Structure formats: structure tokens, C-alpha cells
Structure 1
Amino acid sequence: MPAAHPPSPADSPLDAERAHLASSRAALRAMRAEAEALDISDVTANWVNAEVLRSEIELRVKALADLAGTPLFFGRLDLEAPEDGKAEDGEREDDGRRFYIGRRHVHDAAGDPMVIDWRAPVSQPFYRASRQDPQGVELRRRFGYEGGELTAYEDERLSGPGSEEDGEGTGEAAGALLRREIERPRVGPMRDIVATIQPEQDEIVRAALGGTVCVQGAPGTGKTAVGLHRVAYLLYAHRERLARGGTLVIGPNRSFLRYIEQVLPALGELAVRQTTVDELVAEGLEIRGEDSPAAALVKGDARMAEVLRRAVRAGVRVPGEDPGAAAEGVTVVRGSRRWRVPVHELGEIVRELLGRGLRYGSAREALPQRIAHAVLVRMEAAGEAPDDRTQNAVARTPAVKAAVKEIWPPVDPARLVLRLLSDAEFLAACAEGVLTPQEQAAILLERPPRGVKAARWSPADAVLIDEARDLVERTGSLGHVVLDEAQDLSPMQYRAVGRRCSTGSATVLGDIAQGTTPWATADWATALGHLGKPEAEVAELTRGFRVPGEVIAYASRLLPAIAPGLAPATSVRASAGALRVRAVEPEEREAAVVAACREALAGEGSVGLIAAGDRVPALAAALDAAGLGHLSPGEETSGAARLTLVPAALAKGLEYDHVILDEPTAVVAAEPDERTGLRRLYVTLTRAVSGLTVVHAERLPLALTGR
């Protein structure tokens, strides 16, 4: 085991490290002051450029903040000495061989680095070096902090004399400081794991920007943190490219986003947008409706993409095939001459545009130019010499505009979807051979609203409108998208996200075993196909750091019933007494839950009371009666209380030091089917970092007890 050095007044190495910390903080303050003092009054050509530059400087100043309680550096690398073992004249023996690793780069007045950004290439061995593969590292030092003050350090000698006796590297056995950092009580929002990233996590974090990575991560393996640190790394390595394309983090709900919102700012990244799928697609819509499970299942099915494609194109009338579609052709008057494009030629133009697979709007914009080009061909044959200006003028003539409106009418995506869901004949025509009559009936509105503004759109409707909008006009693509809790997305939601990174890449995070929607992902290959990234690499994280071994083993009893193809997760942390299962009488249940909360609050860290939704009001009343203040999910950042009352449906992605789980059978029963219920139970059982107490009056689910 690496040797830990506790604080001591006589410990001169610790004093030296504290001195370097103080110097580094002073240098960071100087860097911030220099940024604040920049004069840009005469360096830009216009006020627009000045505003852009001013905004960039403001972000730079914020990124250089010395955050209270956040260690400026957390590690040190001493590289192997030169082969001759001698320093050049005027150099210390450690010059160029010692690097302090931290959350951001800090340099002194001369520009020499005092702290190296954890994302820099030279920092990579801090996470990956081991005795078996030292990667040029002689010594790795980790630092311990209390309230921002450096209090201890711990060394691992990876090469050179003594390396065989100094214990294993952190890739095999975590040292005392590493374990302490992982197990540090959690109060408030999620924090970064930059000091504790493990080799298998670092490989994902530093994967190339050009490829999409899918992370199948068991509970406690840090997949969310890995995804967020990957964003920070990519912004460091490809800042200009991602600044042009943009970066987006998508989470399952607002509570989850509030929980993770401080991770990227703590790493110096302030300009990353965070949203949910529902918010992403609900542009200009008010979501007020809710679908039945049967309707939501059909609307989320990938086959709806074909139904919408047909619906969008249903309005196109091919001359010569559809009565009234420019039946007389198009006649353009130019001066004293009349130029006629006959019906059969118009039909050929329209069929050719339909066959090219262009988006509806692009083809509609091309149609008047194609008709105008046909007129110009006739002009040239008659001896005239028209140019591009003539073609544009012809395309704008009333006759051509009228023909385009008749042949290729404009499409409003929301109106189109409303018609599809309201008009049984139109739906049947568009869904023929795609949806069964029963599926069509499931999504038809019983009482169609009077217009788009009166519609009570559901989240699934918004996704359909987004698909229709993309069929009309291409959705803009971002440089990189992080999609968390991806196992719960429908195929149509995957398509909506995929459109946002069609020319970029993605990091997909999820766990098949935690899928709790009717359309939950059965396998990643299918999901990645819907996303438009079938070539994505799938990486599996099974080594847990957050959930104690006793707890994850208990929860893993459910895996044969909910995800038989997944390997059970393991944990690097053994914690005796981390799991307590208490059977009580029904009339004692609320009192037992309150007692368990009091017991957990007597220790350190955050406490989460998780229960089925219909049990939350009774438990809230019991907590209030007992004088135990509590929060709702997403309010943890307020610091008003350490106890959060969490409906089971919102527990996914959250974590608490101590979890009290109320009535597992009620959690299962609240879902539409047993398998989904057991998956929800698996989620709730794996939210604990230090301890889990299960309180139940009803018989536990058979899949959990085995009897």
C-alpha cells in the first residue's frame, strides 16, 4: 500500500507543498487580474466584434476564479531522471521532471507552468501509469485536503529503487487518500471526479472527438461523471472546433440537470448548454398533454418516421397525375413573348425532385428555379441569350409562383402532425402497411382540437413535430452531444438527438438494467442505429466506486429478471453494515422510516428518502410531524437541509450518502408491468454511497429474496 504522510509541523515536504500551493494561488490571482485589466477599446473593428471579445474575456475571468474549498491541484508527477542522472548547469535536478496536476493551468509571471491542466497530454500518466507500465513516471503523489487546506500527501513509487516494495498502483488497489476522496460525504450538487479518475474511465474521457462512444455503465461506475469530464477534455483539446459547432449535455429531467450543473463550471467550462430531450424538441410548443402508455409506445416507434415522411409529401401534386396540378402547364410572359412549360415536363421535374430525397423545403425552393431553367432552355433555342438574372426573374413571376404553390404547397410541421392525429383517413393513407389499425386507433385523438394553439401537445407529440420539422428543413448539427440515461429514450427520441449531432459526435451514457420506460432500450446496437451512429464503440464499465459492495450485490439479485445479459457490477469498496433490511408492521412503517432518517442524519453527508410516488405525501407528513426538514430533488444546492424526499420516478442519476428506501413492493407496483417495476427498484437500491436501509411492511419482491 502506498505510504501516507499525515500532517505534521516537522514534515518539511508537506510544508514545501503548502508553499507551492500558496504560490500557485497567488499566480492564479495574478492571471485573473491580468485578464480583468485587458484594454480592448482599440483592438476591434466594430462594436459587434468588441461585444464578442468582451464576452470571451468575461468567461475567461470567471474560469480563472479560485474556488473556495476546491483544491487547485490534487496530484504531482515526478518523471524519471535523465539517463546520465545529471542536471545541466543552473538547473535543479527536478526541473522539467516535476508536474503538479490540477483542474486548470496556472503559470507564473515568466510563463512557466506551476499547475498543469489535468487534460493536458503530460497529465495522462497520472491516471494510467502503474508499476507494470510506469510510462516514465518515477513517483506519483496524491494530496489530501480539508476545506481547501492541504493536509496530507501519499506517494506511489512506480519505477526506480524501492518501486517493488512501495505497494500496488491505484489501478489495482486504491490508496488511503484516493479512498477518502471517493467516500467523502456528499452534500449539495454532484462534484467532479477529476482527482479520482480511473484508467478505464480515462480511456473514455480522452477518446477521439471524431468517434461516438457509448458507455454501458453499472450503478456507481461513474458514467455520468465520465461523460461530463469527456466534455471538459474535448473542449480543451478541440476548443476552436467545438466553439463553432457547439456542445450540448442532455439529461433525463431538470432535477438531474440541477444536480450535475456545477461539475463543468468547477472544471473551468462555463458555456456548455444543458437540457432535456423534452425541452430540446419543444420549440415554440406548450406541452400540456399526456399520452396513454399505448399511444406513447406507438408515437415513440421508429416506424413513425416513415409515416411522417409520407404525410409531409402527401401534399405534393404531380402534374399529369393529380387533377388540377398545373393541368395546363406553366406559361411565362416576358415582354411580347410567351414561353410554355408543358404538363409532362413539369411532371418530370417534380418526380425528379421527389426521387432525389431532398428535404421538403429544399425541394420546394428548387422547384421554381427548375421551372425557370426549362423556360431559359426555350429562350436559348429561340436565339435569345438569357443569364442568371433572367432565370431568377422568371422564377419570381406570378405564373411560376402560382404553379409552385399548387404543386408543392408549404408545410407547417405542427399543423401536419395535428392533422395526422385528428384525421383518420389521412392517418390511414400515410400509415398503410406501416402501422396496424389498432396502432392507428391508439394515437388518434378522440376530440381533435380547433387548431394548433388549442392542442394539448404531449412530449411524444413534440418529438413527432421535431421529426416533421427536420423533414421540411434540416436541423442544425452540433460538434458534440452528451446523452445521459440514454436507455430510457424511444427510437424517435434517439432520432431527435441524432439530428443534433449528425455531422458531429456523441457520448452516449446509460445502463440497460435501469431502463424504466415502455420503450426502454433492449440493446445498444439498435439504439445507436436509431441515433444514426451504428459504428459507435461500446465501452462497458462494471467496476463500481460509489456503491458499497454489499449494496450492489444485493441489488444485483434483480439482474437475472431485468437484464439477464449483463454482468453483475463489482465494487472496490467493502463497507460492513452498509446494508440494513428492516421488516416492520404496517402500522409502524412511517415511524420506522422517520427513525431511519434520524439515524442517518446523525452521521455525515446527504440523506435520500426514496419512495413510490403515492407514498410521498404520507411520508412528507410524517417527516413534518417529526420536525425533520426535507427538500425535493433538485433543491439540494440550497443547503437548507440534508434530507431529500425523492419520488422513485425521479431517483435515476441521483446519489446520496445514506438512502432509506421505503416499501420496495410499492415501488414495483407503481409501474405498468413487473419488469419495469423491478428495474425501477434496481435504480432506487443503487443510489447509496455509504449505506442503504430498506424499510418494508409488505413481502419483498421474489426476485430480490429468491424465495
Structure 2
Amino acid sequence: MSSASATDPVLVAERAHLAHAAECLTGMRTAADALVDAGVDAWAAERLGAARAERLRALAADPEVPAFFGRTDSRTVDGSAETFHIGRRHVRDAAGTPVVIDWRAPMSRPFYRASAADPQGLVRRRRFGFSGGELTGYEDEPLRGAAAPAAPDGGSRLLREEIERPRSGPMRDIVATIQPEQDAIVRAPLAESVCVQGAPGTGKTAVGLHRAAYLLYTHGGRLARTGVLVVGPNRAFLRYIEQVLPTLGEIDVQQTTVAELTARVPVRAVDRPEAAVVKGDARMAEVLHRALWGAIAKPADDLQVPIGGRRYRVPVERLKRAVDDLRRRGRAGDDQQLLHYAAGRERLALGLAEDARRQAEEAGGSPTDAETRRAARSPEARAFCDAVWPARDAAELVSALYTDAGLLARAARGLLDDEEQALLRWEPAPRSPRTAPWTPADAVLVDEVAGLLERTPGYGHVVVDEAQDLSPMECRAVARRLAAGSLTVLGDLAQATSPWSASDWGRTLAGLGRPDTVVHALTRGYRVPGEVLEFANRLLPALAPGLAPATAVRQGAGALAVRSVDAFAGPLADVVRELRAAPGSIGVVGADAAVPALAGALTAAGLPAAVLTEDGDPARVTVVPASLAKGLEFDAVVVVDPAGVVAAEPRGLHRLYVVLTRAVSTLVVLHRGDLPELLVE
């Protein structure tokens, strides 16, 4: 049943409940603002103030976002009715009675999971329609005694309208439209790592973000201490998704890129493709490990250590054993904790002092702990450690590898051949690491060495999007931030555009340190129209032969237009002018090198468009370099010169698959009679 009549008694009652929820939310904000810090110290007052500010932000009311979007009706054991309104955050009245239930609460789960075959205790599910924050209609879905719905979405008109609503600005949350297979991933336990192989339009990014929000709600205390990290492919993508978690009330989540995580050196250059491949290879981890730990020398003579006013001789054989024992800890197995290089140097110095202390005690002395610590910091101990276990700097070590052919040859023996070593060398050598031509791949290697030197702080949960494009060394950089936490890995093998892309998830998951992670496949597309998805799916046999093609919930006849043109400028302007008549965002996508010409053609036609950059925001009409299109969505997309997109990079056909699947309602393809063969009818 659906209704929009202003006199409908159900609609009148629900509007009254919406107004009541808004009043209660205002009251909760007022109560949070009125909290006082009397009787506490300055530190506690500061923490209370921060908690109050965070609570106020979480309770902030957006007039465009209603307090609830759904309702569940059930029968209790004694036969009485039980009703819950489901919304983005919990709302209670002054007496503490729930008015709206947070979508993440256990009692909200049936709203997403119930079906006619498995009603999960519900007798009815109600969805609401809104416009500008005003409740305009509702739909009731009976769940007991009803036939199973034929459509995957339950045949809900309001659900389809919400999915198809014109999109402008950043990504929205999907709490009102989460489907059962998505909800199963969102509510996976914190201890469980999951990998989502998601075809275009299946909502994999939103699912990953909503899982982070669910875990923060369910395990708030634990994750408040350890933190949640979201890793995206580039800054433009992060700007697109950055409002999803705050909308859900979660503001203390770090969202970053691998480049920002590993920004230990100033990146000012770009690698040749063949050099980037070598630097991203997992073998580089062993090369760096050898270069660092291989610099440790064997002690050559006895050492005199001062403690308690006397000097005690530590024989060279004991020194050798101490160094060897610590060096073995630098490659610890599963039964032994890894020893970081800097910690090993400190333990060596302390071991020297402890040896001297034992000798002093055997001679009748009783050195204190403070004297032992001073002995470990004595000039004799420091000089010994400098000679045998020298302090290292991550950037300087990588720089030395690139400039010292002998050092590189020793570290890479049996791992990299002569040609691969030559790709790593800097010629001519820079004057210092500060002025070196560091590249993004170099920064990842410097971060690897930094992780060998000292422990990298970890997070309780990490979400990695577009993970299919990570190099093995980038996977290791993310894994170092994971510590003992869990992962949500998101991606699509068919959209893999990097030179390290694999045909399955095994290598990536192993590189991320979670090889036993279960892979969940999402193949039901909600955002991309069926006509568009079927067109793009023609490329799948060449991209990922073993991958099941995505199917679309929405067919959208007339959503696809493929036009052969003699030139691009005039037809492009005509198409954009036509698309501007409808609401929503428009993305004009072409090969990166063609972007200036495309933007110039639109400007010349009186249709100014913004060019998307790493730090930019999409506009009403945005010209998008193909390399930045991944993960973005536009209501209408114009793909200009698909052959040029394919020719621009080694995995250009994969890139074309990406850009063909960015449209929510309309896709127009302009080509000059040179479509890839797989796309020709």
C-alpha cells in the first residue's frame, strides 16, 4: 500500500511522530549543551567538553534528513503490538523512552533482513517517502501470510525512487536502502575480516563505510582507543565519500590514501612504469630487510663497560652471541615477536650493561637499576653500538641503495636481476636524500624501512577501498597499520588498472596479512541501469573471465546511447546541453590527455565545466580524467573517445570498463567508428 493523501490517518499519525522525534532530538541537544563540568579537574573538564561537542555534532539535525526512514511492526509473546521507527540515530524522549531506533541496533536488523519466507518476527515493514525533509508517503509490506516478492527489492516504489534519486555533491548514506546481502556484510563481527568483490553499482563502497559505522556503534569503547582507518585510492575519491560517516554520526574516523600514509619523504617525481613495477614488487621487502640488518657487524674485540665506579670486561665471544641472538629476532617466526631494528640496538646496549652488572654482583657489588641504565648510555656502550649496530634513517638507507651499486647488488642478490637493479639506481646521484627525486613508490619503500626500524601504530579496524589496485608493497604498508585489528577489503577485479593487478584476491589478502579472509561477492547492481551494465559486461570475458557478470535491479530503457561522430567538440556540446535539461550531475569522461580539449570545447560552447583534480569537488558538469573516475558516480555520463581511453595505458580496457559504469541514469558514448571489438553488436 502506498499513500500520499494529506488526510490519510496513517500519514497524519506518522507526521505527528516525525514532529515528536524532531522535538525530542532538540531536547537531547539542549541537554547535551547544558552539561556542566563542576567538581572536576582541568583535564576532566577538557575531556567532558570534547565529549559534549562530539555529542552535539552527532545530534545535529539536518532538515533535509528525516529522523526516521522505516518502521517495523511485530507481535510480542503475549500478542501485543510492538512498533519501532528506524532512523540514522537513536532518539528518546525526556523520560528515556525510545522514539527512533538507531539503524545499527540489533532490534533494527529485521527491517533489513525480513522477508515473506523469513519474517524474523515481523508482521509488517513500512517504508517512508520524503521530499525536503517532509514525509510525503509510505508503503506497507506485509510479511506474514504473504507470497514472497518477485522483485529483489520487494517491488518497493519508494525504495527504487530513493536509489534513483538524482545525485549531486558527495556520496550519500544508504541506510534506507541496505539490502539483505549488504546487511550481512555490514553487521559482520569486529573480529572477522571480510573482502567484498563488488561489481559496479552494487554498493561495495557504501557497504564498507556502513560496516565501519556499525562497528563504531557496536564496539565504540574499544575502537575509540584503537581507531578506525579508511584508505581510498586518491584524494578526489575521499572527498566524494567523506560525508557518509559524519552523516551517520561517526566523525572520529581517519580517511586517507596510501600516499598520505607513507608520506615520509617529499614526492617530486614519477617513476617509469617498469621501475614502478619493480619498486612495488614484494621482493623489495626482502631487499630492504637485507640492506638494513645486513649492516650489523660482528664484534672484533672485548669491551670494557663502566658500572659502579669500576670497569668490567665483556668477552668478544659473549658479544658475538648477544648480537647474533638479537639479529635472529629481526626475522622472528610465528612463535616469537618480531624485534624492530631500533629496539634491537637499545637491547644490545642494555645487554652490555646487564653483563657488567652481573659481573659486579659476583664480585660482591650491588649496582642499582639507575647505574645499570647509565652504563647502557655510557660512551663505551654507545661507541660499541655505533660500530656494530649503527643507528639508521629510513630515507637515507633507501637513498644509499639507489646510489651505491655494490650495496644494492649485495642486498638484491638472488632476488633482482641486473636490469631490475639498474631500474632502481639514481643516475646522477642527488646531493642528499632531501633533494632526491622521490616518487610515490619510493615513499612506500621508505615507509617499509621505517616499519623495520620501529613499530608502526595500528588501528582496530581498517577499510581499504579499490584494493585490487594495491601493489604488494602498498599492501604491506596497510598491513602495518592493521596490528591486531580486522579488515574490510573492497574492490572489483574487473576494474583492476594497476600493473600489479591479479586474477583473484589471494595475493592481495595475503599481502594485507589476512590470507584466510572470506570473499563475499556482490553481483546485484542497484545504481547502474541494466542497459548500461549489459553494455559494459561485454568487456568482462577479456578482463576477468572467471568473474560472474553483474545483474541490474533497474533496467532503465533508453539509458544508453552509443553515437558515432566525425568530431567530438560539437556533438559533445549538444549532448551536454541536452542532459542539462534534467536534474542531476553530469560527468564527461575521457583519457587524461584529452581533458583540457574537452573542457575547452564545452567552455567555447557556453557550457563551462569544472575539471576534476585530486583535491577538487565535482560540479554540475565535471570533466573527469579517466584515471580519477574510479569509485565516482554521476547521474549522467558522457564517455568521449573510448578508443583513446583504451590506448592511454597498458590496462586501458579495464579503465574503459570503469568509466562505462559510472552512470546512475544515462550513459552516452561518443566514438569515431573505432569502438573496441567486444562492444560492437
Partner of 1:158: 143
Q: 2:359 — aligned with what?
A: 378
Counterpart of 2:65 in structure 1 is 70
1:661 matched to 2:639: yes
Deviates more, 1:141-150 or 1:371-380: 371-380
Question: Which residue of the other structure, out of 576, 585, 589, is the alignment partner of 2:566?
Answer: 585
1:282-681 pair list within 5 angstroms? 282-283=263-264, 285-319=265-299, 327-334=300-307, 337-357=310-330, 358-586=339-567, 589-633=568-612, 641-671=619-649, 673=650, 676-681=651-656
Deviation at 1:75, TM superposition (A): 0.2
Q: Are the equivalent residues in 1 in contact too, given 2:307–2:367 (CA < 8 A)?
A: no
Q: Provide the rounded CA distance (Å) in 1 between the counterparts of 2:155 and 2:655.
A: 31
Which residue, 159, 174, 184 being the options, matches 1:178? 159
2:575 alignment partner AA: A
After the TM superposition, list the runs of 4 or more consecutive aligned residues in structure 1 that deviate by more than 6 angstroms. Answer: 634-639
Residue 698 of structure 1 deviates from its aligned partner by 3.9
Q: Which amino acid aligns with 2:527?
A: R
Identity between Structure 1 and Structure 2 (%): 55
1:265 lines up with 2:240 in the alignment: no
After TM superposition, the structure 1 = structure 2 runs for residues 20-31 of structure 1, keeping only pairs within 5 Å, are 20-31=17-28
Asked if 2 retains the 8 angstrom alpha-carbon contact of 1:258 and 1:634, the reply is no
Whether the aligned pair in 1 keeps the contact of 2:234 and 2:614 (CA below 8 Å) is: no
What is the distance in 1 between the residues matched to 2:152 and 2:677?
Answer: 37
Of the structure 1 ranges 471-480 and 74-83, higher mean CA displacement relative to structure 2 is found in 74-83
- Work out whether 1:17 is the aligned partner of 2:14: yes
Residue 80 of structure 1: CA displacement? Answer: 2.1
**Counterpart code for 2:290:** R
Instruction: Give SS of 1:527's match.
Output: helix
Call closer, same or farther: CA 1:335–1:487 in 2, change over 3 Å.
closer
- Determine helix, strand or coil for the equivalent of 2:455: coil
| Counterparts of 2:632 and 2:269, CA distance in 1 | 27
1:702 pairs with 2:652: no
Q: How big is each residue's C-alpha offset from its partner over 1:626-653, in whole Å with a ceiling of 9 and x where there is no partner?
A: 11122233799978x5111111111000
Quick check: 360-369 or 694-703, which moved more? 694-703
Amino acid at match of 1:607: I
Distance, in Å, in 1 between the alignment partners of 2:40 and 2:131 is: 45
Task: Letter of the 1:13 partner, please give it.
Answer: V
Partner amino acid, structure 1, of 2:273? P
Stretches of structure 2 lacking an aligned partner (at least 5 in a row): 331-338
Q: Is the 8 A contact 2:292 2:397 kept in 1?
A: yes
Aligned position for 1:190: 171
CA distance in 1, matches of 2:668, 2:182: 30
Deviation at 1:392, TM superposition (A): 2.0
Q: Does the aligned pair in 1 maintain the 2:307–2:372 contact within 8 Å?
A: no
- Distance in 2 separating the partners of 1:230 and 1:4: 31
Are the equivalent residues in 2 in contact too, given 1:259–1:637 (CA < 8 A)? no
AA aligned opposite 1:597: V
Counterpart check, 1:34 vs 2:7 = no
Name the amino acid aligned to 1:119: R
Measure, in 1, the Cα distance between the counterparts of 2:262 and 2:92.
43
Q: What code does the residue aligned with 2:502 have? A: T
SS in 2 for 1:190: coil
Matched to 2:40, the amino acid is: T
Q: Which residue of 1 aligns with 2:335?
A: none
Residue identity opposite 2:610 in structure 1: L
2:334 is matched with none
Query: Using a 3 Å threshold, how does the CA distance of structure 1 residues 296 and 125 change in structure 2: closer, same or farther?
Result: same
Structure 2 length-normalised TM: 0.96
- How has the CA–CA distance of structure 1 residues 229 and 11 changed in structure 2, closer, same or farther, with 3 Å as cutoff? same
The Cα shift of 1:704 comes to 2.0
Q: Which position in structure 2 is the counterpart of 1:221? A: 202
- Deviation digits for residues 599-634 of structure 1 (CA, Å, limit 9, x no counterpart): 111112111111111221111111111111222337
Query: Partner amino acid for 1:82?
Result: V
Retained in 1: the 8 A contact 2:586–2:620?
A: yes
Residue 50, structure 1, aligned to residue 39, structure 2: no
**Partner SS state of residue 123, structure 2:** strand
Give yes or no for the alignment of 1:127 onto 2:112: yes
Which residue does the alignment assign to 1:689?
664
Residue 177 of structure 1, CA deviation: 0.5
The structural deviation recorded for 1:356 is 1.8
Per-residue CA deviation, residues 88-123 of structure 1 (Å, 9 max, x unaligned), is xxxxx53xx100000000000110000000000000
Q: Normalization by structure 1: what TM-score?
A: 0.93
Q: Is the 8 A contact 2:153 2:179 kept in 1?
A: no
SS where residue 610 of structure 2 aligns?
A: coil
Residues 374-411 of structure 1, C-alpha deviations (whole Å, 9 max, x = no match) = 21232233233334334223222221121111111100
SS of alignment partner, residue 500 of structure 1: helix
CA gap 1:81/1:422 in 2 versus in 1, 3 angstroms: same
Question: Alpha carbons of 1:638 and 1:655: their partners in 2 closer, same or farther (altered >3 Å)?
Answer: closer
Q: Distance in 1 between matches of 2:495 and 2:598?
A: 25
Q: CA deviation at 1:37?
A: 1.2
Change (3 A) 1:507 1:336: closer
Residue 488 of structure 1 aligns with an amino acid whose one-letter code is D
Question: Which shows bigger deviation, 608-617 or 686-695?
Answer: 608-617
CA contact 1:130–1:171 (8 Å) conserved in 2: no
1:336 Cα deviation after fit: 6.5
Distance in 2 (alpha carbons) for counterparts of 1:152 and 1:683: 36
Structure 1 residue runs without a partner (length 5+)? 86-92, 320-326
Are the structure 2 counterparts of residues 43 and 199 from structure 1 closer, same or farther at C-alpha, using a change threshold of 3 Å? farther
TM-aligned CA distance change 1:378 to 1:602, over 3 Å: same
Q: What corresponds to 1:4 in structure 2?
A: 2
Three-state SS of the structure 1 residue aligned to 2:406 is helix
Measure, in 1, the Cα distance between the counterparts of 2:573 and 2:242. Answer: 30
Residue 208 of structure 1: SS of its match in structure 2?
A: coil
Supply the distance in 2 between the matched residues of 1:598 and 1:335 (Cα, whole angstroms): 87
Aligned partner letter, 1:267: L
Label 1:225 to 1:28 Cα distance change in 2 as closer, same or farther (>3 A). same
Other-structure match for 1:147:
132
Compute the displacement of 1:441 (Å).
Answer: 0.7
